[in-house]
Structures are given as structure tokens and as C-alpha cells.
A and B are shown apart, each in its own frame.
Chain A
Amino acid sequence: QQQVKQSPQSLIVQKGGISIINCAYENTAFDYFPWYQQFPGKGPALLIAIRPDVSEKKEGRFTISFNKSAKQFSLHIMDSQPGDSATYFCAAARPAQKLVFGQGTRLTINP
């Protein structure tokens, strides 16, 4: 039932660099694409989300890029900071349906 594929599994970026995490989905009925951030020992927390009627959404240093024809979306973290080190999950949902999560990306920002 893997409907959302996420890559890479782990990522190391230098402080100040750009972190990029990619996701691909299969179900064209998905209409909501959030990203969650999870710190060790904590629950996931919503970071940013996008709907397929826009190709990009930006909130501070975080940007989602969405390519509907390719069924792909990605998270960009600009000026990455050590405090951004966490596991990031993409997800997708159909209207009024459960969230389906990707496998997660463990991001490490080196100082």
C-alpha cells in the first residue's frame, strides 16, 4: 500500500546550504500534500502544506514545489540550520480521507 515514495532516506547538508527532499505519489485523487517534521522522541508536527492548484508555496525558509503532471512534490529548506536536523515526512490525502505518509528522510545539518 505504498502510495507515497520519499527520497532520500537520509541527507546531510552543511549549515547554510539547501536541503531538498522529494516525494512521488500514485493516486491522482490526492488533493492535499503536507510535510511533517519530527524530532527524536516527539510526535510529527505540520510544517507546511500545499494543494495541487498551485505549483509552489513558501513559508519562511521552507518551500514546497509541486509538479502535478509528474505527480511529484518536494520540500526545499533554504539556509539550513542545525536546528532543522530532524526527520521529515511527506504525506498525501484524498478529500476527507486519512493521510498516507512517505517513508521519511532523516536530515542532518552539520555546523
Chain B
Amino acid sequence: NAGVMQNPRHLVRRRGQEARLRCSPMKGHSHVYWYRQLPEEGLKFMVYLQKENIIDESGMPKERFSAEFPKEGPSILRIQQVVRGDSAAYFCASSPSTSGLAHGELFFGEGSRLTVL
């Protein structure tokens, strides 16, 4: 039973390029969350999605960042025109349902580490 799968694990981009991070939730999970972790810092919430819907994007920067979770396929976090400050580890987590969320049962992937040169 595969866990949350994220790819790529490592991504290097030059300033101004686009970064696309993908997340496949655990089987049977329909809720996806994206968190950002800066070096030596905690996990900052970015966005919460269900299939085809953005539920909470209160942690997403207003510009350059977008996320989707289509009916088919993985969730994607997209960062346009990357800047050096975007360098971080981006973690995806999934949960099976809102009842699972009420219990905080998030299962995390191993993260995608973005480096912007």
C-alpha cells in the first residue's frame, strides 16, 4: 500500500522559470494539503484541496502560486517565475475524509526540495 508519493524529490530552477510539483495521495484519500518548510523552520500551510475544488488557500501567496487537484491524476503545485525565496521543501499530505481531518490524521509524503539558482 503505497504512501503519499511526491515528485520530483529534488528540483533545481533558475530565477524566472516555472516549477511544478506533483503529489499522488494515498489510495482512498480524497483530501490533499500542501505545506512549505523553509530551512530550520516549521511547516507552513499553503492550500487544502479536494477533487476539483480548492477548499482553503489562505496560506498561498497571492501571486505566482497555484494549485489544483483534478478529477484524474495527481495534485499539482505550480510556482511561476520562481525567485530565490521560493527555495524550500514542499510537502504534500493527504487524509481520507473530513472526519480524518478532524482527527488531524495527515499522512505526509517525503517532500519535493526546490532550489532556485
A91 in contact with B102 given A43-B110, A101-B42, A102-B42 (CB within 8 Å): no
B101 within 8 A of A: yes
Flag if B111 contacts A43 (CB, 8 Å): yes
Question: Which positions 88-106 of chain B face chain A at CB distance < 8 Å?
Answer: 91, 93, 98, 101-106
Chain A, interface size category, equals: 20 to 34
How distant is the Cα of A102 from the Cα of B43 in the complex, in angstroms?
8
Flag if A104 contacts B48 (CB, 8 Å): no
B18 within 8 A of A: no
B41 within 8 A of A: yes
Which residues of the other chain, B, contact A41 by a CB distance below 8 angstroms?
A: 110
A99 in contact with B102 given A44-B43, A44-B91, A89-B43 (CB within 8 Å): no
B33 within 8 A of A: yes
Which residues of the other chain, A, contact B110 by a CB distance below 8 angstroms?
A: 41-43
Which residues of the other chain, B, contact A103 by a CB distance below 8 angstroms?
A: 41-42
A104 in contact with B41 given A32-B103, A34-B104, A43-B4 (CB within 8 Å): yes
A98 within 8 A of B: yes
Task: Return the contact of A99 from the options B4, B45, B111 (Cβ within 8 A).
Answer: B45
Which residues of the other chain, B, contact A31 by a CB distance below 8 angstroms?
A: 102
A93 in contact with B104 given A43-B91, A43-B110 (CB within 8 Å): yes
> Which 9 residue pairs spanning A and B have beta carbons closest together?
A43-B108, A101-B43, A103-B42, A32-B104, A34-B104, A96-B98, A101-B42, A104-B42, A43-B110
Known contacts A41-B110, A101-B45, A104-B42, then 9 further A-B pairs from the complex at CB < 8 Å, ordered by chain A residue: A32-B104, A42-B111, A43-B109, A89-B43, A96-B101, A97-B56, A98-B56, A99-B106, A104-B41
